[in-house]
Amino acid sequence: MDIFGYFDNPIQTKPARDPGLTAPCPVCTEPVGEVAIKTISLIAHPDDGRSYFFRAHKDCWKNASEDEQSHIESLLIDNRID
């Protein structure tokens, strides 16, 4: 799934990569859209210099189990995008 975006450095105001609001929610796979979404930020590796993010529907993320959330986050952490 093409869900992850990132900033190259902390002073950037626009992401270097942004999958956009048509990207699928990682929980239900429907496009996230513009209403009731949550942006989740991650740092995959402290030495990387990038901060990563993805978007999900608020209700989908809230109702996902901790294991499901961890699995989605590990997709990035275990397989960093370039």
What are 8-60's pLDDT values in tens digits? 888 889 999 999 999 999 999 999 999 999 999 988 677 777 889 999 999 99
Chain mean position to CA 72: 9
Element (H or E) spanning 39, and its range? Answer: strand 37-42
pLDDT band at 72 (very low <50, low <70, confident <90, very high): very high
Q: What's the pLDDT at 47? A: 75
The pTM of the full predicted model, rounded to 2 decimals, is 0.86
Q: Rg of the chain's alpha carbons, rounded to an integer?
A: 12
Q: Residue 20's CB: how many other CB atoms inside 10 A?
A: 10
Give the domain extent around 26: 5-78
Domain count, the chain: 1
Q: Which residue is associated with the tokens 């990035």?
A: 76
Q: What residues contact residue 10 under an 8 Å CB cut-off, 6+ apart?
A: 51
